[in-house]
Amino acid sequence: MAEENEASSTESLEKKDTEKIEREPEEGIVEERVYVVPLRKAWVAPRGERAPKAIRILRRFIERHMKTESVIISNEVNEAVWRRGIEKPPRKIRVRALKDEDGNVTVKLAGGD
């Protein structure tokens, strides 16, 4: 019985080790920053243009702060902006910006949202 417990505990340790390997940061990431992007200016636009305006504000904010022109917004960020429809985007959004060696910035939703 004790041998079975030892075997199962070593299996769980092996699984944990492989999980750690999978969680290592992606290679090629040069810089990672977390921003709270204010989207309140999107609410100045007409109701039918607010969510697209919020996406443009987010893109310009990341371009300005990460000093790049190529910004890729992930689907999860896009869905977070559009969650309540075109008329009611969020007032602000917390994102994680990842810059790779080529200068491309990928914007993902930050944890804790």
pLDDT in tens, 44-59: 999 999 999 999 999 9
Residue 14: how many CB atoms within 10 A of its CB?
10
SS3 66: helix
What pLDDT does residue 19 have?
A: 38
The architecture of the domain spanning 29-109 is: Roll (3.10)
Q: Using one digit for the tens of pLDDT, what is the confidence trace for 57-104?
A: 999 999 999 999 999 999 999 999 999 999 999 999 999 999 999 999
Residue owning tokens 């969510």:
51
Q: What's the angle, vertex CA 70, arms to CA 44 and CA 56, rounded to 5?
A: 10
Q: pTM for the complete prediction? A: 0.75
Question: Whole-angstrom Cα distance, residue 86 to residue 95?
Answer: 20
Distance between the two ends of the chain, CA-based, in angstroms?
44
